[in-house]
Amino acid sequence: MDQFRRIQTGKKGDIHLVLLKDKKILDDTVLDEIRTELTQLIGKASGPDMLLDFANVEFMSSAMLGLLGQLHRKITKGQGRLKMCGIRPEILTVFKITNLDKLFSIHKDAPTALATFT
Amino acid sequence: MAQAPEGIVAAANATGVDVLIAEDSRIQAKMLQKRLLDAGHTVRWGENGALALALARERRPDIIVSDIEMPEMTGYEFCKAVKTDPALRTVPFILLSTLSDPIDIIRGLDAGADNYVTKPYEPDYLLGRMESLLATPLAAADDSGDAMLEVTLAGQKFRVRAGRQQVLNLLVSTFENAVSKNQELVVANQELSVARDDLQKSNEELTTLNAEISRINAHMVRDLKAAAKVQRSLLPADDVEIPATSIAWKYVPCQSLAGDFLNVFPLDDEHAGLFVVDVSGHGVPSSLMAVTVGRFLTPKVSDSSLLVRQATDGRVSVVPPAEVATQLNKIFQADEFSGLYFTLLYGVLHLPTGRFDYCSGGHPALVRVPASGGDVEFHTTESFPIAFVPDVEYSQSSLQLAPGDRLFLYSDGVPEAMDKDRNPYGDDAMAACIAASRAASIDVGVSTLLEAVENWCVPNGPLDDVSILGVEWRP
C-alpha cells in the first residue's frame, strides 16, 4: 500500500493528495527522492490536480522551492492545478522572500485547500 | 545403514551390545542414542548418575557411557558406584570429559573409569573406543584394583585405588585423546594457514583498491580546487576601486564550492554595478550554475555580457537592472532536469548623483543605512527568482542616496543563519547589527555582521553560504 518512502499519497476524486513525510527537507538526497517519487506518482498523466501537504515539514532548504517550481510547471502545462497547504509560518517566510507565495496557490489546511478545487 | 563395528559384534556375540548412557543434556543424549541405534545397539538412557545406576542394577549393561557434570549424581560418583558394585565392576565405563584439567585424569582413575573420550567428540570416534574397550574386557578376577596408588600431580599427592588394566586403559585412552586432539590441531592449523593466505590476498586487493580510491580522491580534490579557483574569479578584484565609494565584502562558502557569489565593479566612468547571486543548493551542480551565470554578469564588453552593450557607433551603455534580470531569466529558462534556480539582487549606482537603480529576482531585501542617523531601511522589488517562471518581465526601483548613505546586499545565509536550536538570526537582529556599526568604517560594518552571524551559529557554523557586500556613497 505504502509504496513511497518520502510521500504518503491518497486520492479525493481526481485530486492527488500528497503528504510530505519528512520533518526536515534539507539534504540533496531527500530532495532527489521526493522528486523521483512525485515523478513516479504523476507518471504520464497530463496535468493532474494535486494538493501538496506540508503539515509535517519543520525545516526546508530553499532548494525545495526549485523542486516545487518544476512540479508547478509540469502540472500547469497540462492544465492541472497544484495547491499547497499546511506550511508553517517560518517556512512561509521563504516563499514570501522569493515572492513565490504569489506564484503558488497556498492554503491554510487541507480542507480549505480542497474546497478551492471546484 | 552403518555397519556395527566388528569388535563390538564379536564381544557381544550378537549384532549389537547393550549400551547405557548417562547424560543430562536431552539433545546430546538423543544424538548419541540415534547414532548407537543406527549401529545396531540396544540403548538405555538415564538423565543423571542416580537414574543411570538404577537402570544398570535393573539389567547389567555391556558398556556405560557417562557425562561428568550432571545433577543428583555426577559421572565420577556414578562411576565409583558401578566400580564398587561387585555385579557391575567389570562393565567398561567411558567418561565423557572436556579434560580441561589434568586433575580430571586423577579423578577418573580414582573413580575407576576405563576410558576417557573428550568432548566434543565425533560419534565414530566414540564407537571406535567402545569397540577397543569391549575387545579387551576386564578380567573379573583383576582384584589388583584394591591396591592403593600414589600419584603426584602439580605438586599435590593423590592416593587412588585402581587396577593395572584400568590404569593402562585410561592412560592409553588419554594418550589417544591427545593424539586425536593433536591431529585436529594440525588440521585446524592447515585451515588457518589457508585462511591466512586468503586474508593476505584480500588485504592485497584492499590495498590496491585503497590506492585507487586515493588516486580518484586526489583527482577530485584537484578538480574541486580548480573549480573553487574559477569560482573565486567571480568575486571582486583585490584592487577594485570605484570613485566616490567605499566598498567592503565578505564571502564564506559553507562547502568548498558555493552557490553564492557577489561582485562590485565600475561599469563606465559614471556607473558602478553590484550584485549578490545565490544559486539554490550547494556543491558541484550549484557552483557550475554560478560560474555560468557569472559569465553573463561581467562589466567587460563582450558577446555574453548582459550588463553593458555597445552600440554600432562604438558607444557603450549600461543596461538597466530590470532588463538584466529579464534577460537572465530568458537564458536560464526553468531547468527541468536539476530544478536549480537562483536569486539575484543587482543594482547600478550613478556615481555623480547617488541614484541607485536595482532589481531583485526573489532575493532578500537590500538594506540602506541613512547617513542622517534614521532607521535602517529594507528595500526590494517584488519578483520571482531567476529560472523559476518562464517569460517574466522584471521591474526595477530606484533609491536616491544621500552622501554617506550605505547599502548592504547579502545572501539569505545571513538572516536565515540558524543557531543550535534552529532559530533564525533574523532581519531584526541583522538590521540592529548593521545600525550599531554605522559610525565605524564600512569595513568594520561588514566584518561585524559576519562575526555576528558566525557567533549565532556556534557551535555548528553556518549551514549556508554567507555573502555580504557593503557600499558607502561618498561623493
Interval B312-358: pLDDT, tens: 898 889 999 999 999 999 998 866 667 889 999 999 999 999 999 99
8 A C-beta contact, residue A37 and residue A7: yes
The mean of the pLDDT values for chain A is 89
8 A C-beta contact, residue A34 and residue A7: yes
| B342, B388, B391, B430: best to mutate for the A interface, most A CBs within 10 A | B388
Contact between B385 and A70 using a beta-carbon 8 Å cutoff: no
Q: Does any CB of chain A come closer than 8 Å to the CB of residue B412?
A: yes
ipTM comes to 0.86
Contact between B280 and A59 using a beta-carbon 8 Å cutoff: no
Residues B215, B139: Cα–Cα separation, whole Å:
79
Contact between B341 and A65 using a beta-carbon 8 Å cutoff: yes
Task: Note the pLDDT tens digit of each residue in A74-105.
Answer: 898 888 999 999 999 989 988 998 999 999 99
Residues B112, B115: Cα–Cα separation, whole Å:
9
- Give the pairing of strands B406-410 and B366-369: antiparallel
Q: Is residue A24 part of a domain?
A: yes
Separation in Å, CA A9 to CA A5, A41, A43, A52, B450:
11, 9, 14, 10, 43
pLDDT band at B232 (very low <50, low <70, confident <90, very high): confident
What is the H or E stretch that residue B164 is in?
helix B164-232
Q: Which residue shows C-alpha cell 539389567?
A: B59
Task: Report whether pLDDT(B141) > 80.
Answer: no
Quote the DSSP letter at residue B113. -
Please tell me the predicted confidence (pLDDT) of residue B150.
76
Contact between B382 and A66 using a beta-carbon 8 Å cutoff: no
* A81, A6, B386, B377 alpha-carbon torsion, rounded to 10°: 100
Q: Is residue A31 part of a domain?
A: yes
- Give the pairing of strands A15-20 and A49-53: parallel
Q: Does any CB of chain A come closer than 8 Å to the CB of residue B343?
A: yes
Task: Tell me the percentage of chain B whose pLDDT exceeds 90.
Answer: 53
8 A C-beta contact, residue A22 and residue A52: no
pLDDT band at B460 (very low <50, low <70, confident <90, very high): confident
Q: Is residue A78 part of a domain?
A: yes
What's the length of chain B? 475
Q: Is residue A69 part of a domain?
A: yes
Nearest CB to A35; choose among B339, B383, B412: B339
CATH of the domain at A51: 3.30.750.24
The mean of the pLDDT values for chain B is 87
Q: Is residue A2 part of a domain?
A: no
pLDDT band at B228 (very low <50, low <70, confident <90, very high): confident
Total domain count, chain A: 1
Residues A44, B276: Cα–Cα separation, whole Å:
39
Task: Report whether pLDDT(B107) > 90.
Answer: no
Nearest Cα to B162, choosing from B113, B209, B126? B113
The 3-state DSSP class for residue B46 equals: strand
Residues A9, A19: Cα–Cα separation, whole Å:
6
**Buried residues in B241-257 as b, exposed as e (16+ CB within 10 A):** ebebbbbbbbbbbbeeb
8 A C-beta contact, residue B97 and residue B118: yes
pLDDT band at B90 (very low <50, low <70, confident <90, very high): confident
Please tell me the predicted confidence (pLDDT) of residue A2.
59
Residues A21, A34: Cα–Cα separation, whole Å:
10
Please tell me the predicted confidence (pLDDT) of residue B343.
95
CB pairs under 8 A between A and B: 61
Please tell me the predicted confidence (pLDDT) of residue B276.
97
CA distance A37 to chain B (A): 15
Residues B92, B75: Cα–Cα separation, whole Å:
14
Q: Does any CB of chain A come closer than 8 Å to the CB of residue B421?
A: no
Cis omega (within 30 of 0) on the bond before B462?
A: no
**Which domain range does residue A77 map to?**
7-115
Q: Does any CB of chain A come closer than 8 Å to the CB of residue B462?
A: no
8 A C-beta contact, residue B333 and residue B387: yes
How much is the average pLDDT of B374-395? 92
Q: Does any CB of chain B come closer than 8 Å to the CB of residue A102?
A: yes
Nearest CA in chain B to A58: B422
Q: Which residue shows C-alpha cell 476524486?
A: A13
Q: Is residue A1 part of a domain?
A: no
Cis omega (within 30 of 0) on the bond before B459?
A: yes
**What are chain B's domains?**
6-193 (3.40.50.2300), 234-473 (3.60.40.10)
